[in-house]
Amino acid sequence: MPGSNCTQATEFILSGFTEAPAAQVAQFLLFLLTYLVTILGNLGMIVLIRVSPLLHSPMYYFLGNLAFVNLCTSTIITPRMLAGVLLGKKRITYAGCVAQVFSFDLFGMAECFLLAAMAYDRYVAVCHPLLYALVMSPGRCSRLVAGSYLLGLASGVGQTIGMSRLFFCGSSTIDLFFCDIAPLISLSTSDTTLSLNILRTTSSLLCVPSILVVLVSYVAIISTILRISSAEGKRKAFSTCASHLTTVSTFYGSLLFMYLIPRSETSRGADKWVAVLYTVVTPMLNPLIYSLRNQEVKEAWRRL
């Protein structure tokens, strides 16, 4: 418990990456370019899906929402990080930190379930193509997307409640470039049992089922593809899943490394760059992956 002469922190310091001026300039230019590509790529994907009749299908409906989530996630993190690198604004208010935890968790968890819904969509398309139109009806797709956002909202509210019960003495330094619930729990000087329980419960009830849906779907997809006799049929079946599989591997791989693998003092330095992967790089890569690997998207761009 906090001592009687300890006051609640009103702000936090985000440590960032480095204090070397030359390195900061290089980082600013790199992250600025990444953010601009992220904005243009995801906005372009959203507009293309809406205006192109070729892309009016369940898979691209999910992809449009994924692009929106990536746009929001990047905007929550990157502008603040750019200001810290360029202007040295490493301090963030307590209220700002709470808002960042809530927003990041909302869209991060929504992305987990959107990726699971996209895996289920690919499972139905490959394993039960004759039932695809019936199973993936517009109403069901809308419910899957709405459920993803609602579960993300529930996760964000839960983490915010957990953070509101944490107590921090004085000004605390977060060894990261944004406010995340895990390092905040480790910084707290109060009893963190409730916050840890909320974090673990959220991971167990929300993250694990979405990962299982993806794994089970792709086990069934791969099993079905292996039973296809012709090489051309196998290639076409796999090409419908390649883009999503690449996105899933990048996103879940970095999350598992960041939150589930036990940390050591020597490995914590790599945490920032792993966090960069799923907060900055992945939102930029997703529209590029689908644009470069998907023939329908390339054809829609060509017609547009």
- C-beta separation of 13 from 171 below 8 A: yes
What pLDDT score does 266 carry? 47
Chain-centroid distance, C-alpha 144? 17
For the segment 140-154, the average pLDDT, to the nearest whole number, is 94
Please compute the mean of the pLDDT values over residues 35-47 and round it to a whole number.
Answer: 93
Using alpha carbons, list the distances in angstroms from residue 166 to 52, 104, 177, 185, 260.
Answer: 48, 18, 20, 7, 22
Q: Are strands 11-14 and 172-174 parallel, antiparallel or unpaired?
A: parallel
Segment 140-151 mean pLDDT: 95
Which pTM value belongs to this model?
A: 0.88
Q: Mean pLDDT, to the nearest integer, of 108-134?
A: 91
Does residue 263 surpass a pLDDT of 70?
no
What domains can be seen in the chain, in order of their start residue? 11-303 (1.20.1070.10)
If you write DSSP's letter for every residue of 126-146 in order, what string do you get?
HH-GGGHHHHT-HHHHHHHHH
Q: What is the mean pLDDT of residues 191-213?
A: 80
pLDDT at 279 over 70: yes
Structure tokens at 20: 């070397």
* pLDDT of 103 strictly over 90: yes
Mean pLDDT (whole number) for 164-179: 78
What are the residues whose beta carbons fall under 8 Å from the beta carbon of 205, sequence distance 6 or more? none
The pLDDT > 90 percentage for the chain reads 29
Name the average pLDDT for the chain.
83
pLDDT, tens digit, for every residue of 65-95? 999 999 999 999 999 888 887 777 778 888 8
Burial of 24 (0-12, 13-18, 19+ CB in 10 A): middle
Q: Report the distance separating Cα 73 and Cα 108, nearest Å.
A: 7
CA dist list (Å): 180 to 7, 97, 98, 156, 160? 22, 8, 9, 11, 11
Q: How far is CA 220 from CA 52, 112, 122, 255, in A?
A: 31, 20, 10, 24
Query: How many whole angstroms separate alpha carbon 20 and alpha carbon 18?
Result: 6
Which residues are CB-neighbours of 171 under 8 A, at least 6 positions away? 9, 11, 12, 13
In this predicted model, which residue has the larger pLDDT, 274 or 96? 96
